[in-house]
Amino acid sequence: MSVPGAYRVEPEPLSDRRGLFFESVRAAEISAASGWDFQVRQVNYSVSKRNTLRGIHGTKLPPGQAKFVTCVRGAALDIAVDLRVGSPTFGHYDVTHQSPESGVAVYLPDGIGHAFLALTDDTCMSYLCGEEYVPGTMIDVDALDPGLALPWDLKEPPIRSDKDAAAPTLAQAAAAGLLPTYEQCRPRSAAGARPG
């Protein structure tokens, strides 16, 4: 994707009279591409009404929480945002349209924020997480931050949680020291230690 370290995964479906089959996740390929040993330690699902906007969410370091996100029902406009202070692409974003039929997914390492807009009722998103959730470590940034100007193409006000609606802008989160640095989010060295 245009945000370094984030990957769009486009499977190659096998089709016959029964329907489709495709591989969604190969941990070895994700690890080889990203430089991180991606192991699933928690699986989450969200189910959303049409026009629900979730995010922008990330996780503090430590512990971090890399994610492999895909739409398993409905349809979603998925956006990855670089939250890494000092990154050459800080504040840049990449858009992915997701649906079960396409099988398209995104891999988001530490420091890349995630948000999506449910395009249909009963949109279900699956999150394979590289770390278990630790209360108090979530990073929230306003998905409607005018400084980011994310292309949601909203026709009406979105449905959001109170927490998401009250989230700071990217600039406010950076000024408050809430965001990870680019160096903290770099892949592990050959010795397996995280730099910084």
Q: Where in the sequence numbering do the catalytic residues fall? A: 57, 127
What amino acid occupies position 146? P
SS3 for 92-155, per residue? Answer: CEEEEEECCCCCCEEEECCCEEEEEEECCCCEEEEEEECCCCCCCCEEECCCCCCCCCCCCCCC
